[in-house]
Structure 1
Amino acid sequence: MLRKLSVIAAVAGLLTVGASAPAFANGGALEPKDVHWSFEGPFGTFDQAQLQRGYKVYREVCSACHSMKLVAFRNLGDKGAPFYNPKYPNSNENPVVKAIAKDYQVADIDGETGDAIKRPATPADRFPSPFANEAAARAANGGALPPDMSLLAKAREGGPAHIYSIVVGYQAPPKGLKVGPGQNYNPYMAGDLSSYWSGDKEHVPPGGFIAMPQPLKAGQVTFDDGTKSTLEQEAKDVSAFLMWAAEPKLEERKQTGFAVLIYLILLSGLLYASYKTVWRNESH
């Protein structure tokens, strides 16, 4: 698996350059695209094949700049996760998870010499950062800090739809919009473009600037299941994967909530029946 440019340094517009102020006039970001997700609704579940494709996009593209420090490799084999296998209820024993972890190098300390070393990761380790520290991350990205992706899909209004929209939403800046070095125009990015706009102030273009150029393109990742690798497919799959990373217990939460509702309905019925029985012969 190769490391390439980040899939979403710009994802959700976190690598911004002067784009966090309130929108001017009729500017502001466009609403996220309307995307259908398998995990929507009270009975929605993650599509495991989609999560596997999304992980591949993350691994081959975005992990070059983005960490997921709150996610352990073993989580990839948990129930509802990309590589869950009921044969391995203990995800630490999942051979796919072991192979994925081994492909990463993590920092450690030599137990005999005390020297800092690198070793192959184990399922118990968390996804490592591609940079040693924040200064190194900024130096490699023109001063912008690539965000950790662990909770990205929950941290942005619009969630995975926002991420998807940012990734597929890059376009040439409108005529009259001054774009500086290291800036990229995206209409789905929140920002205030009024000070960069030389046209009619009543028609400031929507969106803002992002430091990272478009991270994905058609055919950039080859999917193992034969799914056609379009820009939209790559963006949707990695957005779904990031949603899983942000809320890995989503399916269990929905199942628990449904069971609790059924219990409360039954309990309410029993209480009402008891009430009618106890007070049946009493006048009210």
Structure 2
Amino acid sequence: MLRPALVAIGAFFTLMLLYSFGAGAVSYISEPPAATVEHEFHLPPKEVAFSFNGPLGHYDRQQLQRGFQVYKEVCSACHSLKFVSFRDLQQIGYNEAEVKAIAKQWAIKTPDVDPATGEMSTRDPVPADKFPKPFANNVAAAAANNNAIPPDLSLMTKARHHGSAYVYSLLTGYQPQPAELLKKFPDAATPPGLNYNPYFPNLNLAMAQPLVAEGQVTYTDGTKPTVDQMAQDIAAFLTWTAEPKLENRRSAGLAALVFLAIATGLAYAAYQNIWRDKKH
């Protein structure tokens, strides 16, 4: 008795599933979803070659230092790096003395407590400190940025699909709204205070174009600071802040694959040697 009942229940749910699938397909064909401006004009990230692309890729320390310079001189006024310490910069080629100087000369001071009075105060950052936040709190951040709170950039390339390419595309993607968009979607004009960028999911964002002209940053290694170059460099730097152990992880993975390949060969050879005379 139990088996027929279970078969009947299974058949019922299968039929309901097929009915739901068929009804959904018919509905989609007869009444397709209305076109949206985001669906038609949102663009996938641009293709860009980074040294760390691919399973054997690695960071270009010079590029990371240039990217840090872009962050320091352009991005740090609004965006924080709350998971990164000044001393972490030694991983991208700065020595201890340089890290101490960078921390001491940082434009934003670190909140602290006066040990004599117990009152809040500020002090120069030290290498052990995280990068100071540019705003005291979210209210201050929103007030200074058209009611939009600038996101922390520490893990930005991990939080976005095609993270490195997304950051690069966003920074180089600011443009006027296409006439075709306004003609097809007259109500989709970019609101005042926002900026059109087809690489942003809803096409309009509060952040004004941060990289506006060649020479905005002066690179110490002599690299020409075009907008495209600065965008690539900051995208690479933010990839490092999100994945500082990327090279170690890939090296460990490669070593594991080599070990498994050797172990597999030895195991097969042992199998052949042990069972060679026992095959019929």
TM-score bin, normalised by smaller chain: 0.7 to 0.9
In the other structure, the counterpart of 2:264 is: 268
The 1:221–1:171 alpha-carbon spacing in structure 2 relative to 1, beyond 3 Å, is: same
Q: Distance in 2 between matches of 1:127 and 1:25?
A: 35
Instruction: Report the secondary structure of 1:227's partner residue.
Output: coil
1:190 and 2:209 are equivalent in the alignment: no
What TM-score do you get using the length of structure 2 for normalisation? 0.81
Counterpart CA distance in 2 for 1:56 and 1:272 is: 53
Go from structure 1 to structure 2 and tell me whether the alpha carbon gap of 1:221 and 1:184 turns closer, same or farther (over 3 Å shift).
same
Offset of residue 171 of structure 1: 0.6
Deviations along 1:34-87, one digit per CA (max 9) or x if unpaired, are: 100000112111111111110000000100000000011111112xx253x5xx
Secondary structure of the equivalent of 1:66? coil
Letter in 2 for 1:128: P
| % same residue | 51
- Please report how far the alpha carbon of residue 174 of structure 1 lies from its aligned counterpart in structure 2 after TM superposition: 2.4
Name the counterpart of 1:102. Answer: 104
What is the alpha-carbon distance in structure 2 between the residues aligned to residue 282 and residue 64 of structure 1?
Answer: 75
| Structure 2: distance between partners of 1:63 and 1:111 | 29
Structure 2 spans left out of the alignment, 5+ residues: 1-34, 183-187
Pairwise CA distance, 1:26: 4.8
**Secondary structure of the residue that 1:232 maps to in structure 2?**
helix
CA distance in 2, matches of 1:99, 1:25: 46
State the shift of 1:28 in Å: 4.4
Aligned 8 A contact 1:151 1:242 in 2: yes
1:133-158 C-alpha deviation (Å, 9 max, x unpaired): 01110011010010000000111111
Q: Give 3-state SS (helix, strand or coil) of 1:280's partner.
A: helix
Output aligned runs, 1:91-170, within 5 Å: 94-104=96-106, 105-170=109-174
Are the structure 2 counterparts of residues 64 and 82 from structure 1 closer, same or farther at C-alpha, using a change threshold of 3 Å?
A: farther
1:209 and 2:204 are equivalent in the alignment: yes
The one-letter code of the counterpart of 2:51 is S
Superposed displacement of residue 187, structure 1: 1.2
Rounded to whole Å, the distance in 1 between the matches of 2:264 and 2:240 is 35
Partner of 1:221: 217
* SS of equivalent to 1:118: strand
Kept in 1: contact 2:38–2:201 (CA 8 A): no
* Aligned 8 A contact 1:184 1:210 in 2: yes
How many Å apart are 1:179 and its aligned residue?
A: 2.1
Amino acid at match of 1:160: S
Contact 2:177 2:196 in 1 (8 A): yes
Deviates more, 1:160-169 or 1:170-179: 170-179
TM-score, length basis structure 1: 0.80
Match of 1:240 in 2: 236
1:74 counterpart = 2:87: yes
Q: Counterparts of 1:239 and 1:215 in 2: how far apart (Å)?
A: 13
Measure how far apart 1:219 and its partner are: 1.3
Structure 1 segments, 4+ long, off by >4 Å, are 22-26
Cα distance in 2 for residues equivalent to 1:254 and 1:139: 43
CA distance in 1, matches of 2:146, 2:261: 57
Q: CA deviation at 1:120?
A: 1.1
Amino acid at match of 1:51: L
**Distance in 2 (alpha carbons) for counterparts of 1:58 and 1:25:** 29
Tell me the equivalent position of 1:280. 276
Structure with more contact order per residue of length (Cα contacts < 8 Å, sep ≥ 6): 1
1:182–1:212 Cα contact (<8 Å) kept: no
Larger helix proportion, structure 1 or 2? 2
Which structure would you say has the larger Rg? 2
Query: Is 1:52 matched up with 2:48?
Result: no
Alpha-carbon shift at residue 112 of structure 1 (Å): 2.4
- Number of paired residues? 236
Q: CA deviation at 1:257?
A: 0.6
In structure 1, distance between residues paired with 2:173 and 2:93: 26
